[in-house]
Amino acid sequence: MNIVEYTSEYEYLAKNFKCGNSVIDKFLHDGNALDKNQGITYILLSDENDFIIGYYNIEVGRVDQIEKIGDKEIYKPMGGAVNINYLAVHSDFQGTMLAEIEGKKIYLGDYILRDCEKLL
């Protein structure tokens, strides 16, 4: 298994992705996952690189504070934010345990999230 950035080269694999949530599936199916304005999408591929096991979409943003003075609203930037927009595992692989270390179970979703955290 390896995690790579989702590009148009993998679009033909996306149509077979089903996690059980139609909104999350549709994001990958309809091409939105390729739109950099909606973040960057990474996919977890099978060993043969012929199946998408899972994916996540991440983007940077900003948190603003709105202060109201009289009738005016003043926006003050407070800092950056990282948004994990989507994180999904194909329904055939949900609940798949990869390892158990010192009594702690590691699942595919944990593996994908750990990769996502590396970017933070």
* CATH code for position 72: 3.40.630.30
Q: Write the pLDDT tens digit of every residue in 21-35.
A: 999 999 999 999 999
| pLDDT recorded at residue 63 | 84
> In terms of residue numbers, what domain contains 99?
2-118
How many domains does one find in the chain?
1
Four-residue CA torsion sign, 21, 57, 33, 80: positive
Low-confidence stretches of the chain (pLDDT < 70) are: 120
Note the pTM of the prediction, 2 decimals: 0.85
Mean pLDDT (the chain) is: 93
Q: Which residues contact 71 (CB under 8 A, 6 or more apart)?
A: none
Q: Is 75 within 8 Å of 65 (Cβ atoms)?
A: yes
